[in-house]
């Protein structure tokens, strides 16, 4: 069998860049979020034989790397039996692996029973990467995220209980001008009720040919300026009361990255943001 070719750019979280990257699916099984350009891509699940051939190929260069990431925009949506078969392949070719991560939607977590999630955890699934994007139901519904804040809470509590860590992304400016305040308040509120291992804030990027691009063009959505996004982020960060959590933003004013451990680095992160806000105001 030919080695499977993953046609699109490979997307993995920044913290998994050094992991062995094994493709199990491509695109997203939901694909309806208005801001997301993956929504334009067809969703594909790779057959086990393809995954096996790919694993055989990757094993030649994996050395003693214990980290592996299952590529695909929400691989947890695959049936548990299928995922367990994938994990058998993983251990056949990468016996040294002891930490497996993948992307998931909150709904993918909720739909699986505690027993199914425990089986996956016991087979090495230790980290899920979930797009929270916003804690505001108004914003989630405007963006057609397909998941409510209470469903996010339910998923995160379940993962806390089962000892599976989760890493969340949030999108700065996702509420636009009209909902910026509620986006910031409700996002901080939900983050303070859960225990994320990391929070990665990304500034909203409006991709061409997405429903959000159309909303912007018709005036239904007004984008924040980079300075306004940073001011929103400052407010959010000042409200966070999370423990043992990495906070990062690789899109600050479209040119800087911020990273720190919460709560220890909270004040220094805020000071840096204040300085950047001050500089930005002076330049405009
Ligand atoms: S769930 Fe994630 S990958 Fe899927 S459409 Fe929404 S933002 Fe895109």
Which domain CATH number covers 193? 3.20.20.70
- For atom 6 of ligand 1, the residue with the nearest CA is 33
Q: What angle do CA 274, 260, 275 make, to 5 degrees?
A: 15
Distance 284 CA to ligand 1 centre (A): 34
Confidence at residue 37, expressed as pLDDT on a 0 to 100 scale: 87
Residue 264 in domain? yes
**Tokens encoding 184:** 């910031």
Ligand 1 mutation target, pool 73, 129, 143, most atoms within 8 A of CB: 73
Q: Which atom of ligand 1 is nearest to the CA of 37?
A: 8
Residue 1 in domain? no
Residue 78 in domain? yes
- Ligand 1 pocket, residue 36 CB under 6 Å: yes
The count of C-alpha atoms lying within 13 angstroms of the C-alpha of 124, restricted to the half-sphere facing its C-beta, is: 21
> Which residues are CB-contacts of 18 (< 8 A; sequence separation ≥ 6)?
65, 67
Closest CA to 274 of 248, 223, 225, 238: 238
Residue 5 in domain? no
Residue 96 in domain? yes
How big is the chain by its Cα radius of gyration, in Å?
A: 19
Residue 4 in domain? no
Confidence at residue 9, expressed as pLDDT on a 0 to 100 scale: 60
Q: What range does the domain containing 89 cover?
A: 14-283
Residue 2 in domain? no
Q: Which atom of ligand 1 is nearest to the CA of 145?
A: 6
In the chain, how many domains are there? Answer: 1
- Ligand 1 pocket, residue 30 CB under 6 Å: yes
CA separation for the pair 162, 87 (Å, rounded): 19
**Residue 200 reports pLDDT greater than 80:** yes
**Residue 48 reports pLDDT greater than 60:** yes
5-14, 163-172, 255-264: segment of lowest average pLDDT: 5-14
Q: At what angle are helices 226-239 and 176-191 packed, to 10 degrees?
A: 20
**pTM for this prediction:** 0.94
Residue 6 in domain? no
């Amino acid at each position: 069998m030919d080695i499977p070719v993953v046609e699109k750019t490979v997307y993995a979280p920044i913290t998994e860049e050094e992991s062995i990257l094994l493709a199990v699916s491509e695109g997203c099984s939901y694909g309806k979020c208005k801001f997301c350009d993956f929504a334009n891509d067809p969703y594909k699940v790779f057959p086990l034989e393809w995954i096996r051939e790919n694993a055989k190929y990757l094993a030649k260069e994996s050395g003693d790397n214990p980290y592996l990431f299952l590529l695909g925009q929400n691989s947890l949506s695959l049936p548990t039996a299928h995922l367990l078969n994938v994990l058998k392949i993983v251990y056949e070719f990468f016996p040294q692996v002891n930490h497996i991560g993948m992307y998931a939607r909150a709904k993918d977590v909720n739909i699986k029973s505690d027993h199914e999630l425990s089986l996956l955890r016991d087979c090495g699934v230790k980290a899920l990467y979930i797009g929270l994007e916003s804690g505001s139901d108004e914003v989630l519904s405007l963006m057609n995220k397909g998941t409510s804040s209470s469903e996010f809470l339910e998923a995160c509590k379940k993962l806390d209980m089962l000892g599976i860590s989760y890493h969340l992304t949030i999108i700065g400016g996702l509420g636009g001008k009209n909902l910026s305040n509620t986006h910031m308040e409700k996002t901080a509120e939900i983050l303070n009720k859960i225990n994320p291992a990391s929070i990665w804030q990304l500034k909203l990027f409006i991709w061409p040919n997405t429903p959000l691009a159309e909303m912007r063009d018709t005036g239904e959505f007004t984008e924040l300026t980079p300075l306004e996004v940073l001011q929103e982020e400052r407010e959010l960060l000042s409200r966070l009361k999370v423990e043992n959590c990495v906070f990062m933003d690789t899109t600050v004013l479209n040119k800087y990255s911020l990273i720190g451990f919460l709560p220890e680095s909270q004040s220094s992160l805020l000071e840096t943001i204040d300085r950047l806000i001050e500089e930005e105001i002076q330049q405009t």
